[in-house]
A and B are shown apart, each in its own frame.
Chain A
Amino acid sequence: MATVTIKNVSKAFGDNVVLKEFNETFQEGEFVTLLGPSGCGKTTMLRMIAGFEKPTSGEVYIDDQLVSGGKTFVPPEKRSIGMVFQSYAVWPHMNVFDNVAYPLTIQRVPKAEIREQVEKVLEIVHLSQYAKRLPNQLSGGQQQRVALARALVAAPKLLLLDEPLSNLDAKLRESMRFEIKEIQKKLGITVVYVTHDQTEAMAMSDRIFLINRGVVQQSGTPEQIYNEPINQFVADFLGKVDFFKGEAANGRIAFPAMGGQSIAYDGPRTGKVEVAIRPESIYFAPDGVLEGTLEAQYYLGDVDDCRVRVGDTLMRVIANGYEYKALREGQKVRMNVRSFMVFEDNGLLEQMLKIQT
Chain B
Amino acid sequence: MKNAKAAQKELPRQTRAPLITKLALALVFALGAVIIALGVSGQRAYDTSGFSAESAYGAIYALSKDVNAAWEKQLQPQLAALPAEQRAQVDEAVRALLDAAWEGANPGSAAEVESILSPVPEGERTALSYKLLYSAYLVNGPKVSTAQKKEIAALSAADLAAFRTAMLNGVTDESAALPAAAEKAADLKGQERQAALMQLLFTSDGAAASTESVNTLKKGVRDKVKQLDAFRMIARGEVGWLWQLIVSNSRTAVLVGIIIALDALLLTLLMMWDKSWIIDVKWIIILLIVDFLLLFQLMPLVYMVIKAFFPEGSFSLETFERLYTYSLNLDALTNTLIAAFATMILGTLLAFPLAWLVGRTNLYGKKFFRALFVLTYMVPPYVGAMAWLRLLNPNVGTINQWLRVLFRLSDAPGPLNVYTLPGMIWVLTSFYYPYAFITISRAMEKMDPSLEEASRISGGSPLKTLFTITLPMMMPSLIAGALLVFVSAASCYGIPSIIGSPGRVHTVTTRIVEYVSLGQQALNDATGMAVFLMVMALIILFISDVVLAKKQYITVSGKSVRPAIVDLRKWRVPLTVIVSVFAVIMIFIPFATIFTTSFKIDVGKSMFQAENFTWTNWQTVFGRTETMNCLKNSLIFASVTATVGIAIACTMSYLLQRTRVKGRKIPDFLITLGSGTPSVVIALGLIMTMKGNFGINIYNTAYIMIIAYLIKYLMMGMRTVVSAMSQIHVSLEECSQIAGASWLRTMFRITGPLIFPSIAAGWFLIFIPSFYELSMTTLLYSSTTKTIGFQLYEYWTFTSQPMSCAMAFGILLFVVALNFLLNRLTKGEFSI
Contacts and interface: CB of A to CB of B under 8 A. Distances in A.
B553 A150 contact: no
Contacts of B457: 50, 76-77, 79, 81-83
Most buried by A among B451, B458, B473: B458
B473 A93 contact: yes
A136 B3 CA distance: 39
Contacts of B458: 77, 102-103, 106, 150, 154
Most buried by A among B459, B553, B554, B564: B459
Interface string A72-84: 0001110111110
Contacts of A87: 448, 450, 557, 559
Given A93-B473, A136-B553, A102 B455 contact: yes
A51 B461 CA distance: 13
A44 B460 CA distance: 21
A283 to B, nearest CB: 44
Nearest to B564: A52
Contact of A103 (B453, B459, B472, B559): B459
B782 interface: no
B210 interface: no
Interface string B18-37: 00000000000000000000
Given A91-B451, A93-B553, A77 B473 contact: no
Nearest to A50: B457
B476 to A, nearest CB: 9
Interface in B275-307: none
A136 B459 contact: no
Interface string B433-477: 000000000000000101101111111111010001100110000
Interface residues of B, number: 24
Contacts of A106: 458-460, 464
B459 A92 contact: no
B826 to A, nearest CB: 27
B453 A85 contact: yes
Contacts of A136: 553-554
Contacts of B555: 92
A125 to B, nearest CB: 16
A154 B460 CA distance: 13
Contacts of B472: 93
A107 interface: yes
A92 B456 contact: no
Given A52-B564, A91-B469, A92-B555, A76 B453 contact: yes
A89 interface: yes
Interface string A3-20: 000000000000000000
Given A77-B460, A93-B473, A85 B554 contact: no
B453 A52 contact: yes
Most buried by B among A79, A80, A103, A136: A103
A91 B473 contact: yes
A161 to B, nearest CB: 12
Main secondary structure of the interface of B (DSSP, over half): helix
Contact of B454 (A51, A75, A93, A150): A150
Contacts of B461: 75, 77
Interface in B551-575: 553-555, 557, 559, 564
A85 B450 CA distance: 7
Contacts of A147: 454
Interface string B203-231: 00000000000000000000000000000
Interface string B172-213: 000000000000000000000000000000000000000000
A35 B448 CA distance: 25
A52 B455 CA distance: 12
Contact of B456 (A76, A80, A86, A154): A76
B453 A92 contact: no
A154 B564 CA distance: 25
A51 B472 CA distance: 24
A83 B454 contact: yes
A39 to B, nearest CB: 12
Most buried by A among B457, B462, B469, B554: B457
Nearest to A160: B457
Nearest to A156: B457
A92 B462 CA distance: 19
Interface in A121-145: 136
Interface in A79-125: 79-83, 85-87, 89-93, 102-103, 106-107
B467 to A, nearest CB: 12
B480 to A, nearest CB: 15
B574 to A, nearest CB: 22
A89 B453 contact: yes
B459 A107 contact: yes
A213 to B, nearest CB: 21
A38 to B, nearest CB: 11
Nearest to B472: A93
Nearest to A102: B458
A194 to B, nearest CB: 14
B613 to A, nearest CB: 49
A291 B564 CA distance: 60
A76 B462 CA distance: 10
B548 to A, nearest CB: 13
B456 A89 contact: no
Most buried by B among A51, A81, A92, A147: A92
Interface string B614-627: 00000000000000
A147 B453 CA distance: 12
A92 B557 CA distance: 12
Nearest to A87: B557
A309 B460 CA distance: 62
Contacts of A76: 453, 456-457
Nearest to B468: A102
B448 A89 contact: yes
Contact of A92 (B460, B464, B553, B564): B553
Contacts of A75: 456, 461-462
Contacts of B473: 91-93
A92 B473 CA distance: 8
A356 to B, nearest CB: 20
Contacts of B564: 52
A150 B456 CA distance: 12
B472 to A, nearest CB: 5
A107 B460 CA distance: 9
B456 A77 contact: yes
B469 A154 contact: no
A89 B554 contact: no
B570 to A, nearest CB: 14
Given A76-B456, A77-B461, A89 B450 contact: yes
B459 A77 contact: yes
Nearest to A54: B567
Interface of B: 448, 450-451, 453-462, 464, 468-469, 472-473, 553-555, 557, 559, 564
6 contacts: A80-B459, A87-B559, A89-B450, A91-B473, A92-B555, A106-B464
For the complex of A and B, 6 pairs with smallest distance between CB atoms: A92-B553, A103-B458, A89-B450, A89-B454, A106-B459, A76-B456
Given A77-B459, A82-B457, A91-B451, 8 more contacts: A51-B456, A75-B461, A83-B457, A86-B559, A90-B454, A92-B555, A93-B553, A103-B458
